[in-house]
Structure 1
């Protein structure tokens, strides 16, 4: 019995480091990704993109979109951390997966990539609509641009677009500038104006429009110019990230290695910007960049180190929080000058910008307002491309006790003088009244 117990303890000791690594909350957990394909040929025609994900440590599970064994969760636990839909033709998914299942997946805080094309099904369009993006209702329409097209001997209808209208954000597309234009052939989509969470990452030029290239225009196209988005992203309020592309070919090996010359330009690039664009964008979507965490929220009176159970009005206090950013390999100090804290009760009584020591620590000090009640320290931080931080910590504030007020208040000196002058006058009046004949 003793021997069995010792063996069990030894096994636990060996497994503990593995368990602590597997369930560590210190790193983003987007490691296992389900990839749904229209057919298995996409796996080879888009192999460079998939290999780049695998080289960064992702475990890809390839399935046909109509596979009857598809399931995202088992026993209430999700089996995947990300979902890639390279199945624009799928009218329905196999297994238990449907539109509601995809949306629940995103609502749980997990990430989604959608790639469509001219034959996108209603199911794919409905998923995009729920994410704040509307594809052109004309299923035969494509993005056409007679000014900013990619010069090609085979493309005479100018549906092969060369776009360099990138979003200006280093956190989304990386700090290294994309020099070559991105080649795009696909359908247009617009952003829902009510949805403030969706952003254009790659836009069409002002001369672009969406129409059927095989039919002569009889009326103005419904989508024109820079209002057309080619690639968009969404960061939900729960920090789930979504990538929506109107082109499946955007991720293909053929366009990754293709040379490109934009119409009207003499510069010929040996390689398009597709691979760099997609790789950097996928790093953002799967939280390799722009992922923040806040730890060690502390507050205490000035000159003390212990956090009190409550504050008194007009106390001087210090507040601090540590913020770090995931670099893809480790947590690095996040440095910014726009992090603020609110001392909040129904409305912010104090709003202070936190100063940083450049090592991840943000701090400030202020005086508790002359109002008592239940307050909150609130840090609401939302910046383009970064996961949002929403922190709060509750603390009561009490008034002065009866024995904590000053014995003599300076502003009350006139009242003190009036009282003593009244007593002196009454004494003089009494003497005069008693002894005057």
Structure 2
């Protein structure tokens, strides 16, 4: 009776282990326990994406990210307010966690304390003053902010990164919180969702003569992708992720219904991107060869026709599909690039290019550096020496040398004619 049950139980155990291994461990820190109820749909969306959530108070004395030198969690989500980080957590440790390649979502209350503001700043995002809110007297919600005008509508069709947000998000995004700004010189941080052209940052009910943030310069959600491809999302609005805003009906200032808010769809897309489930490029294979020769030879010869190819896939919401782009380039370099070529793709994810090896010998490298906003960066290199011609590989007769050949034979003919004339004439 027991033997027939052994195999099914073993298979079940393997399935459970495989499932648990595929899930990422996410530490969720909350400023107040009530956020688990007011933001249940956001947390449920994370679970639906396949994450295993461990929800803890942000100031718990037992908090830790590292145990015996190993990271306990794969991702970190902070829903922060006035309280600081507790336990063994501090800004330096969270940044170390991020630098190790782990993803972070940071959602702040506008009046968040200095520690969480410092964390946002270290990630490359500046949060407006604690008393400031994003205000818009032309694009506010007529039901939620009829007087204060501090619940604004963001147009999802303006300034959205196509690698972050999928097509088909309809309706305005409701936002209530502080504005963000990112340095225009930053190569890692960018604003993914902006306020409208008439928005500005200021204190509700008070006149503002000079606004620190105004118009499209008011960021609502900022995204960061580090050079190690770790990702982070920062917003200074807890309401953006709340059940109330997910289920709200957007109302224009004139009282007209604009339909359901797009908060749930937009936040789901942002979370998927920030937790590396969207816009992830995967290199499947890399090869190079002399045209018609073996793959990845030990060396090239100068002026050989050589070919470089790479297979790139793209991960989007758990589905892998071939990547297609017209701007992927490869270089053949030795200190400086000698050859640069644009790769052509076959529609099935394979990019390739044929080039002529430079007329210089030494140790060269194939280098592919591809970084686009919203996509993980690719940094590939393959080393291959290039040798000069061997002695028996040079051409025996060169067209450019024909004048020299002619001068030699003309000299010989002249010598023979002069000798014959000297010997046989009187």
Residues 17 and 334 of structure 1, relative CA distance in 2, 3 Å threshold: farther
2:350 corresponds to: 361
More off after superposition, 167-176 vs 283-292 = 167-176
Contact 1:147-1:264 within 8 A present in 2 as well: no
Residues 18 and 48 of structure 1, relative CA distance in 2, 3 Å threshold: closer
Residues 15 and 391 of structure 1, relative CA distance in 2, 3 Å threshold: farther
Q: 1:406 aligns with which of 395, 411, 417?
A: 395
1:98 aligns with 2:90: yes
Tell me the alpha carbon deviations over residues 114-145 of structure 1, each in whole angstroms, 9 at most, x when there is no partner.
Answer: 11122111111111111111112x32111111
Contact 1:35-1:61 within 8 A present in 2 as well: yes
Contact 1:313-1:398 within 8 A present in 2 as well: yes
Mapping of residues 328-367 of structure 1, within 5 Å: 328-367=317-356
Residues 179 and 20 of structure 1, relative CA distance in 2, 3 Å threshold: closer
Please give the alpha-carbon distance, in whole angstroms, between the structure 2 residues aligned to 1:131 and 1:302: 46
Please give the alpha-carbon distance, in whole angstroms, between the structure 2 residues aligned to 1:292 and 1:391: 13
Q: 2:42 aligns with which of 36, 49, 55?
A: 49
Shift of 1:180: 0.9
Contact 1:116-1:187 within 8 A present in 2 as well: no
Q: Tell me the secondary structure at the aligned position of residue 120 of structure 2.
A: helix
1:5 corresponds to: none
Q: 2:233 aligns with which of 211, 225, 243?
A: 243
Please give the alpha-carbon distance, in whole angstroms, between the structure 1 residues aligned to 2:418 and 2:177: 104
Q: Tell me the secondary structure at the aligned position of residue 213 of structure 1.
A: coil
Tell me the alpha carbon deviations over residues 220-244 of structure 1, each in whole angstroms, 9 at most, x when there is no partner.
Answer: 2222221110111111111111111
Tell me the alpha carbon deviations over residues 42-81 of structure 1, each in whole angstroms, 9 at most, x when there is no partner.
Answer: 0111000101111221001111111111111112221111
Mapping of residues 231-380 of structure 1, within 5 Å: 231-263=221-253, 266-269=256-259, 271-380=260-369
Contact 2:101-2:229 within 8 A present in 1 as well: yes
Contact 1:292-1:326 within 8 A present in 2 as well: yes
TM-score (norm 1): 0.89
Please give the alpha-carbon distance, in whole angstroms, between the structure 2 residues aligned to 1:30 and 1:187: 33
Q: 2:162 aligns with which of 170, 179, 183?
A: 170
Please give the alpha-carbon distance, in whole angstroms, between the structure 2 residues aligned to 1:275 and 1:313: 58
2:4 corresponds to: none
Shift of 1:18: 7.6
2:114 corresponds to: 122
Residues 227 and 329 of structure 1, relative CA distance in 2, 3 Å threshold: closer
Please give the alpha-carbon distance, in whole angstroms, between the structure 2 residues aligned to 1:120 and 1:77: 30
1:89 aligns with 2:82: yes
Shift of 1:305: 3.4
Shift of 1:323: 0.7
Tell me the alpha carbon deviations over residues 294-327 of structure 1, each in whole angstroms, 9 at most, x when there is no partner.
Answer: 1221111222234210000111222211111123
2:141 corresponds to: 150
1:112 corresponds to: 104
Please give the alpha-carbon distance, in whole angstroms, between the structure 2 residues aligned to 1:123 and 1:180: 35
Shift of 1:265: 7.9
Mapping of residues 193-208 of structure 1, within 5 Å: 193-208=184-199
1:34 aligns with 2:34: no
Contact 1:375-1:394 within 8 A present in 2 as well: yes
Shift of 1:161: 0.7
More off after superposition, 145-154 vs 257-266 = 257-266
Shift of 1:267: 4.3
Question: What count of residue pairs does the alignment treat as equivalent?
Answer: 417
Shift of 1:212: 1.4
Tell me the alpha carbon deviations over residues 219-272 of structure 1, each in whole angstroms, 9 at most, x when there is no partner.
Answer: 422222211101111111111111111101100001110111233584431x21
Please give the alpha-carbon distance, in whole angstroms, between the structure 1 residues aligned to 2:81 and 2:26: 18
Contact 1:181-1:273 within 8 A present in 2 as well: yes
Shift of 1:347: 2.3
More off after superposition, 163-172 vs 141-150 = 163-172
Residues 30 and 171 of structure 1, relative CA distance in 2, 3 Å threshold: farther
Residues 124 and 30 of structure 1, relative CA distance in 2, 3 Å threshold: farther
User: Which stretches in structure 2 are left out of the alignment for 5+ residues?
Assistant: 1-6
Contact 1:30-1:287 within 8 A present in 2 as well: no
Please give the alpha-carbon distance, in whole angstroms, between the structure 1 residues aligned to 2:248 and 2:15: 44
Q: Tell me the secondary structure at the aligned position of residue 290 of structure 1.
A: strand
